[in-house]
Amino acid sequence: MISSDEEQKRRKKFAELIIKLNIRDISSDSGLRGELYTDIRYIYTGNSGNIDFRHYYSDVFQKLIQLNQDRQDITLIGHNLQLLYDFSVKKKEYGIAECIKKLYDHVNLETARITYLNGIEAHEIKPEEVRGMLDDVGNQITIQDEKVNRIIKHTDDAYSNFIAILGIFSAIVMVFFGGTTVFTKTLGDVSETSIDKMILICTLCGLIIFDIIFMFLYFLAKLLDRNISATSEYVYWKDIVSRFRMRYPIIFYTNLIGSVVILCSGFSMLLKIVLEMKVNDSTVNKVACDYIFKFIQGNRAFCIALAVLIVFNVLFSVVYLIAKLTDVNIGCRLILDGKYPFWWNFDEDNKFVVYKYDTRIADFNNENEMQKFLKRKNLWANLKAPVCNFAKRAFCRYPYFSIINVILLVVLVFIKYGS
């Protein structure tokens, strides 16, 4: 989220952008195109490099009405936005491209509405307009006939869809009762089965059944041309894990929690096997307990500080997990260094200009020199960004957590080696 002052600043910049888009055709004016694209990047991303602003529909309509009242050709705005969209796709900045696409759609919609209202106000109904209306009615009839034909076709395909749906639900029932049989056998021998083994088997079978049922429902939705995802937003520019988490959060978090339970149960079973192993006519468990008891007796202060450190980190992990599941931010917002911050464009003198985000840093007359400079700068920035971002996340994301951990670690070192 951005502050109210920053949002008002960008809305003002957005209003100025609409006016600039109506100045002239930018297809042959690379300087104006670069200026407009730089403005768009700043409006939607600011200085962070992340998209954190959405333009207001009312701002678009207000500026278009103003330009129309000034007898301006507002259709030029849509044409220039199309050129800027193609330019953003070539630069592989798909987030900016999606913002321009939405703005292009809003501008075209309002332009068509204003043009229609202008036509109503400027003309009286004439015979030739009546003939045009009749032609429109004929076209509408043709469209309705096509819709009726499509409905008939869908009706004919309904029988095959019913059979497919019946088959899928039959498979779901078979899978569910098969999983119930496994649960019954596992719980039937509960007195002879260790708790960790029982949890592992039940969780594993539950996840398999859950995923298979979801897979069948997903296929069913595809057959019926329905969308069962949690969001309809365009998320194709994100990584596959983020896309899956946003579109199907129930499946993602169920499998995540189930996987954690399976790993913990498996680790518990493995730990039991290791602790039951023999070492010099004694078990590993007894040897470890004796060593831990002696260590605690000789290092009471160190063990107390270590226990405080462990409990503090466990409590923070629980709070962090709850915050993630409830989509609540408990950390400070950071401005992270982005990848490929340097980019180039032409200026009004047709020079090659290199920018860092929205700041002009170098001019070149030769493209090869510009490309070498750009690659060198981006390579160094991409090597430095992960290190800087890691440091910011480690020490600035949760400052109190980091400070307390550092203090506890210093206390542990002092107790261990200071006395």
Q: pLDDT digits over 160-188, tens only?
A: 666 666 766 776 676 666 666 665 665 66
Q: How far apart are CA 180 and CA 184, in angstroms?
A: 6
Tell me which residue of 334, 343, 324 sits closest to 389, measured CA to CA.
334
Phi, psi of 251 (to 5 degrees): -65, -45
Mean pLDDT check: name the lowest of 73-87, 230-244, 366-380, 381-395: 230-244
Amino acid 16 reads E
The residues with which 344 forms a beta bridge, in sequence order, are: 354
Q: How far apart are CA 186 and CA 197, in angstroms?
A: 10
HEC secondary structure over 231-254? CCCCCCCCCHHHHHHHHCHHHHHH
81-133 pLDDT, tens digit each: 888 888 888 877 888 888 888 888 888 877 777 776 666 554 454 555 545 65
Cβ partners under 8 Å of residue 281, min gap 6: none
Task: Give the CA angle between residues 273, 277, 280 to the nearest 5°.
Answer: 170
Amino acid 77 reads I
Contact 353, 346 (CB under 8 A): yes
Whether residue 248 has pLDDT greater than 60: yes
Per-residue confidence band for 143, with pLDDT thresholds at 50, 70 and 90? confident
Tell me which residue of 260, 245, 268, 387 sits closest to 317, measured CA to CA.
260
Cβ partners under 8 Å of residue 57, min gap 6: 106
pTM for this predicted structure: 0.42
**Rounded (10°) angle between helices 94-122 and 75-90:** 170
The 10 Å CB-count burial string (b at 16+, else e) for 243-254 is ebbebbeebbeb
Q: Greater confidence, 297 or 117?
A: 297
Q: How far apart are CA 189 and CA 215, in angstroms?
A: 31
Tell me which residue of 43, 45, 27, 91 sits closest to 342, measured CA to CA.
91
Q: Greater confidence, 260 or 91?
A: 260
Here the tokens at position 355 are 């920018």
74-79 mean pLDDT: 81
Q: How far apart are CA 197 and CA 209, in angstroms?
A: 18
Locate tokens 């990848």: which residue?
A: 339
